[in-house]
Structure 1
Amino acid sequence: MDVKSATKAIRSGDPASIYVLYGTEKYQIQQFTEMLKAQVIEEEHQDFAVIPYDLSETPIEAVVEEAETVPFLVPRKLIIVRDTSLFTAGKESKIEHQVDRLITYMDNPADYSTIVFLAQGDKLDERKKLVKAVKKQAVVLAFAPLSGEELVQWIVKLAKQREVTFDAGAADTLISYAGTELQTLSAEVDKLCLFAGKGGVIRRADIESLVARSTEQNVFALVEELANLRLEKALALFYELLKQREEPIKIAALIARQFRIMIQVKELGQQSYSQQQIASQLGLHPYAVKIAGEQARKFEADRLRKILSHLSELDYQMKTGAVDKVLGLELFLLRLGA
């Protein structure tokens, strides 16, 4: 079952007894949990019927015992369990958990309890007996990063819920300013919707005047301008970063990182890797891979390697005092833009 199907079942009054949620998109996991809480537990009962547990402090058998206990004064209970070790690899728990108690419970779960496990990891450990059991008897949902197109659609949908629309290309502009973190994007959409007002339209100019770029996003935009041979705009972004008292060595390192990503995306793309596969391989958001791929197409692979080599030499010169840091980076940008 996927997230969309699980959401539909919950909204139609047919929630599962046990959910296991995992993945990189913590904001979406939080939103799903809040939706489940709102659908399963009436608002006036939430103080008594929503019970949190942390398996770093409480054994799993205590959670099972809670699930088996008939709720008091409420028709149903929702048990939200934070986990860092039972379902994922790596961390070992300081508490000894009797996982067989949970496996046995899954054969005959209480119809008045819903358990939601929030697994802290990008993926589950398929070797574990418990993971094999939940995959057969519970609803296991992965929350992976949205692709570039999905991210734009998510932003547009969020604004539409507030009766506001995005002008053509404005959602992409927002991502280029605010990044791909959903919680940050949600806050920025809220702000822009308040500015536009009900029935209003959010335009690129609104985003440019209302949304502040982070250092990483400024460097990302700087490289984009260089890739498009817009030297004047690239230098303007560089001077803006200096006004913000950013260290030139840090700026150079972030530029080098972006060019390194471009090389990696280009090479993996030539090996027929998909956008999602490249993102997973490099530990990047799919949208960042999409943009890096578009930038990389404007450079030959050899040219990208030479640029990285020049950045490596510049880094050495700046750190040893062989060149003034600001002047050295400025000259590099001028040569690259030319």
Structure 2
Amino acid sequence: MAKKGSDQAREFFRSLKRSDKPKPIYIVFGEETFLLDLAMKELVQLVLPGGINDFNYDVFYAREVDVHKVISACETLALFGGQRLVILKDIQWMSASDLKPLTTYLDNPSPSTTLVCHGVTATRALTKTTGFYRKAKKVGGVQEFKALREWEVGRFLRGQASKRQLNLTHEAEEALIGSVGTDLATLDMALEKLDLYLGAGEGVREVTEDMLQEVVAATRSHEIFELTEAIASQNLARSMSLLDAMLEQGQRGVGINLMVARQMRQIWQVQVAMSKGMGKSDIARAAGMNPYFVDRYRGYARRFKASKLRSALAHTLKTDRLLKSSRLSDRVLLEQLVIAVCTG
């Protein structure tokens, strides 16, 4: 019997921990960005245990670079010996013809370089039938991180809680998923808040539903819901006002963008489910959400054209990249996002 996606992901992380020599190529992709980010951290640690420097590390974006420049970086020897790490992001945007030179490179890859191809597939799927994909599976490692459904998230939540010496009661676990949703990064942030609230203690600290409601009720914050509502209504003035208030409260740009992206993605999932004539419970399962929120998201979905939702998701992915790499302020980048989504 084939392993489930979550089991395959766990085995992938175990294999990285056990490995003492990186493979020449890895492809990591999927909708679950928290696990993707974790995979990238583990791969960097595996390939460059001594740390990153300007001579052993390159990052390229598929839609902005000639693939031959990527190959040239792979074939460049690391200064002072050792391993080189070359990362190619947005791999899902490359066509089979774009990937042919990389397929040829894999016939005789550099023994001192590991190429890591990364793709977030929330808005565009990665084609798995290319010669490049098949060759990468043969000579390297390939792992897809699918978005976990609500009923799959419990194991992740318990594992992350255990790392912080927290023990969630069954009621607290259900309440947390119900109020925050199934986005793993958001759940992890909620656990961090609980950890700080309870403070240091001896041994494992139990988290009850009452504690959870007190501490994390606002994790899926009212401002985020209001911001999503304003964006869905194309109310630019209201959206900008809410964004300003959230930034003034000290909320991080990456977190705001993450929550907006999650909301846009779930609106899109609900819209697709509605187009198939699904009922409320089926929509909840398809979108991985608590049935309580379905009616709200149906309303959002009716306000967006499908093309506008795809564009909004693409803008959130671009904003995420810029928030982590650009010198522009969080405020400027998020204002650009809101303007693009509300007026695009």
Bin for the TM-score computed over the shorter chain: 0.5 to 0.7
Change (3 A) 1:188 1:55: same
Aligned to 2:166: 164
Change (3 A) 1:267 1:7: closer
Deviation at 1:80, TM superposition (A): 1.3
Aligned to 2:210: 205
- Does structure 1 conserve the Cα–Cα contact (< 8 Å) formed by 2:31 and 2:145? yes
Change (3 A) 1:295 1:181: closer
Aligned to 1:175: 177
Distance, in Å, in 2 between the alignment partners of 1:157 and 1:55 is 34
Give 1:119's aligned amino acid: G
Aligned to 1:22: 29
Deviation at 1:47, TM superposition (A): 5.4
Distance, in Å, in 1 between the alignment partners of 2:282 and 2:142 is 30
Distance, in Å, in 2 between the alignment partners of 1:217 and 1:153 is 27
Aligned-partner SS, 2:106: helix
Aligned-partner SS, 1:169: helix
CA-to-partner distance for each residue in 1:155-196, whole Å, 9 max, x for gaps?
A: 111111122211232122111222222221111111101222
Change (3 A) 1:176 1:34: same
Distance, in Å, in 2 between the alignment partners of 1:21 and 1:9 is 14
- Does structure 2 conserve the Cα–Cα contact (< 8 Å) formed by 1:20 and 1:140? yes
Give 1:6's aligned amino acid: F
Distance, in Å, in 2 between the alignment partners of 1:177 and 1:149 is 14
- Does structure 1 conserve the Cα–Cα contact (< 8 Å) formed by 2:45 and 2:51? no
Aligned to 1:4: 10
Distance, in Å, in 2 between the alignment partners of 1:150 and 1:86 is 29
Aligned-partner SS, 1:264: coil
What is the root-mean-square deviation of aligned Cα atoms in Å? 3.8
**1:100 and 2:100 are equivalent in the alignment:** yes
Q: Which residue among 142, 145, 164 is the counterpart of 1:143?
A: 145
**1:71 and 2:78 are equivalent in the alignment:** yes
- Does structure 2 conserve the Cα–Cα contact (< 8 Å) formed by 1:84 and 1:121? no
Distance, in Å, in 2 between the alignment partners of 1:130 and 1:193 is 44
- Does structure 2 conserve the Cα–Cα contact (< 8 Å) formed by 1:45 and 1:74? no
Give 2:28's aligned amino acid: L
Aligned-partner SS, 1:156: helix
Distance, in Å, in 1 between the alignment partners of 2:213 and 2:14 is 37
Q: Percent identity?
A: 22
Deviation at 1:48, TM superposition (A): 4.1
Deviation at 1:126, TM superposition (A): 3.8
Q: How does 1:1-338 map to 2 (within 5 A)?
A: 2-12=8-18, 13-46=20-53, 48-87=55-94, 97=98, 99-122=99-122, 123-196=125-198, 197-198=200-201, 199-211=204-216, 212=218, 213-214=220-221, 264-265=278-279, 279=286, 284-285=287-288, 288=289, 291-292=290-291
Deviation at 1:217, TM superposition (A): 10
Deviation at 1:86, TM superposition (A): 4.6
CA-to-partner distance for each residue in 1:28-73, whole Å, 9 max, x for gaps?
A: 1011101111232124445543321112222111111111111113
Deviation at 1:202, TM superposition (A): 1.6
Give 1:117's aligned amino acid: C
Q: TM-score, normalised by structure 2?
A: 0.59
Report how many aligned residue pairs link the two structures: 240
- Does structure 2 conserve the Cα–Cα contact (< 8 Å) formed by 1:71 and 1:112? yes
Distance, in Å, in 1 between the alignment partners of 2:191 and 2:113 is 36
Q: TM-score, normalised by structure 1?
A: 0.60
Aligned-partner SS, 2:72: helix
**Larger C-alpha radius of gyration, 1 or 2?**
1
Give 2:30's aligned amino acid: G
Distance, in Å, in 1 between the alignment partners of 2:281 and 2:158 is 32
Deviation at 1:76, TM superposition (A): 0.8
Give 2:164's aligned amino acid: R
Give 1:4's aligned amino acid: R
- Does structure 2 conserve the Cα–Cα contact (< 8 Å) formed by 1:193 and 1:202? no
Gaps of 5+ in 2: 227-266, 303-344
